[in-house]
Amino acid sequence: MTTTASALSHPGAIFTERRTVNAFSDRAVSDADLATIWDYAKFTPTAANSQPLRVLFVRTAEARERLLPHVAEFNRAKVSSAPVTAVLAYDPAFHEFIPTTFPHNPGMKDVLERSPEMREGMGRLSAGIQVGGFILAVRAAGLWAGPMTGFDAAGVDAEFFGDNGWKSLVVVNIGHPAEDGAYYDRLPRVPEDLAALYV
């Protein structure tokens, strides 16, 4: 059940062989594992290379106790069983980094500064794309992810992001699946003929 990245049968296996996990084993996840996840995830494409995603890795018992009251009751057991929980957020001030991340057009920083609606739309959409990249990065690093949205984002933001203003989007539990009850049977997908057009 705990297939490692090196044992995946083909490149697409991070889609077809990995699953969303609801219960985790007590097998540890190291800081080196988390660094690998970020090393992969940081290359997810974003608008104007803006990279608005920010990550809080909750890995200590003390930090987990701070997080749990803000998690919906039906999700608390998942967070409690995971060795690490990542809070994925976007940085409303991401445009401050544009001169570094988009050096051939540093003036975009000022455009975004003057256009808060444009900045928020760009930031949330690009961070959302990065969320998907982050989940795939967890899988590519040989780990399993359990993404969730059942939590009080405002409460998490107040608890952890009061100093930097980040806005939480998704919580992702990270680890290795428990021997029993780790995930449900795979659910149906929308048929290709209803989801894709070829012109």
Mean pLDDT score, 193-197: 97
Output the pLDDT for position 25: 96
For the chain, the average pLDDT equals 94
Burial 6-32 (b: 16+ CB within 10 A, else e): eebeeeeebeeebbbbbbbbeeebeee
Is the Cα dihedral 154, 155, 158, 160 positive or negative? negative
37-54 confidence digits (pLDDT tens) = 999 999 999 999 999 999
% of the chain exceeding 70 in pLDDT? 96
* The two structure tokens encoding residue 152: 């009080």
- CATH fold for domain 18-179: NADH Oxidase (3.40.109)
Q: Looking at the predicted structure, is the pLDDT value of residue 4 above 60? A: no
> What confidence tens digit (pLDDT) does each residue in 133-155 have?
999 999 999 999 999 999 999 99
What are the boundaries of each domain within the chain?
18-179
